[in-house]
């Protein structure tokens, strides 16, 4: 191996480590993540956050006499990308209050008591056109949607009750329904944290495990 080859290999390795370090530091400090796409070349989770399920949010108002009506924009939803309304991109549910208040304050409607936000989820494969579905899947299209209560808001859109989304609820249910996982979680505790037990009025020096969280929830209820 010649001196030029060694210098070239060392230069390539050095540049690679410098770029990788810059990418790790940038992601750690959250600097410049949304300004360019160069960071995608130095991270492993290039498609992180992509779900296998699609979702839509339904806003349903309930009146005092038990009637329900849809809370949607009569002037049409704002669709920044394709034919999906902007409100359906709000996976963290941070804009629910503003969305409801904007519609309620600019429309004429019957008096209502609250608004239910229902999350509808279904496998993304059912979004394929018929030609691609017939090419990649056998049998007829049998789309099944799962409906999950996401939040309850008052007449001004203020969130009164917020529940885990459908994805998080499936994770919690799969853990809570598995006796082996629940037993292992009770035996595993973190080295830090203080847990207050309202049933005994005492503090625990270990961190809360899954079993403690379930016992804590049961005690508070």
pTM (two decimals): 0.62
**pLDDT tens-digit map of 92-116:** 788 888 999 999 999 988 899 999 9
Residues 62-81: tens digit of each pLDDT? 998 889 999 999 998 888 88
Instruction: Look at residue 21 and tell me if it is in a domain.
Output: yes
Where residue 36 falls among pLDDT bands split at 50, 70, 90? low
Number of Cα atoms under 13 Å in the Cβ half of residue 67: 8
Residues 62 and 162 in one domain: yes
Residue 92 shares a structural domain with residue 161: yes
Residue 23 shares a structural domain with residue 110: no
Residue 65 lies in a domain: yes
Query: Which tokens hold the place of 3?
Result: 């001196």
Instruction: Name the residue range of residue 24's domain.
Output: 3-42
Give the integer Cα–Cα distance in Å for 157 and 177: 34
- The set of residues, in sequence order, having a beta carbon less than 8 Å from that of 98 and lying 6+ positions away, is 157
Q: Are residues 35 and 59 in the same domain?
A: no
């Amino acid at each position: 191996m010649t001196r030029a080859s060694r210098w070239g290999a060392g230069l390539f390795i050095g540049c690679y480590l410098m770029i990788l370090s810059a990418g790790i530091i940038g992601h750690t400090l959250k600097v410049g993540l949304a300004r360019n796409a160069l960071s995608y070349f130095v991270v492993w989770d290039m498609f992180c956050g992509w779900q296998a399920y699609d979702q839509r949010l339904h806003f349903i108002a309930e009146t005092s006499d038990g009637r329900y009506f849809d809370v949607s924009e009569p002037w049409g939803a704002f669709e920044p990308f394709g034919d999906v309304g902007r409100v359906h991109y709000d996976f963290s549910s941070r804009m629910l209050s503003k969305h409801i208040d904007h519609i309620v304050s600019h429309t004429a409607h019957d008096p209502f008591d609250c608004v239910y936000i229902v999350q509808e989820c279904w496998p993304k494969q059912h979004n394929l056109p018929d030609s691609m579905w017939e090419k990649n899947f056998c049998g007829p299209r049998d789309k099944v949607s799962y409906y999950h209560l996401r939040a309850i808001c008052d007449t001004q859109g203020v969130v009164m009750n917020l529940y885990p989304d459908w994805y998080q609820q499936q994770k919690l249910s799969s853990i809570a329904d598995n006796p082996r996982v629940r037993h292992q979680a009770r035996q595993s505790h973190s080295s830090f944290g203080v847990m207050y037990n309202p049933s005994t009025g005492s503090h625990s020096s270990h961190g809360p495990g899954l079993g403690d969280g379930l016992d804590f929830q049961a005690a508070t209820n």
